[in-house]
Amino acid sequence: MPDDPSLRAALRAELGRRTDLCWVRHGDLTQAVWHAWVDDDEGGVLALVSGGDEQPFPDVPDGAEVEVLMRSKDTGGRVLTWAGVASVVRPTDERWQPTVAALGARRLNLPDLAGAPDRWAERSVVRRVVPVEA
């Protein structure tokens, strides 16, 4: 794995864009989740939606540190592990629209794409995981 922070950031973003599944570890629990990568001014973040009719995910507190494990789509081997801070994105947040747009674009078998943001606002939790370099 590259020691250069800029190379790690580029690899993280590339894996985030190319894969649909990663593992998020918080405490003793590691949960597989589908995700979307959202490019932003900070170099990109991992976005996920859980609860309601969506995937299960532990109740990770706002601002909690998590570890993200990303694997190769081809071989399944671990390519990169990185630390991040999870934050809840609420519908009133300016980050809501780009985050749910990215999630909607990546979500397979979504029965009603146009209504998804409203359902997620009512029944689910949308989170962003912002990478932090050690």
87: pLDDT strictly greater than 90 = yes
Q: What are the CA-CA distances from residue 19 to residues 27, 70, 98, 129 (Å)?
A: 24, 8, 19, 15
Q: Containing domain of residue 11, as a range? A: 5-132
Query: What pLDDT is attached to residue 6?
Result: 87
At 1, is the pLDDT very low, low, confident or very high (cuts 50, 70, 90)?
A: low
The predicted-structure confidence for 11-64, as pLDDT tens digits, reads as follows: 999 999 988 899 999 999 999 999 999 988 777 999 999 999 899 998 899 999
84: pLDDT strictly greater than 90 = yes
Closest C-alpha to 69, from 102, 97, 40, 35: 35
CATH of the domain at 124: 2.30.110.10
The predicted-structure confidence for 109-123, as pLDDT tens digits, reads as follows: 888 888 999 999 999
* Domains held by the chain: number: 1
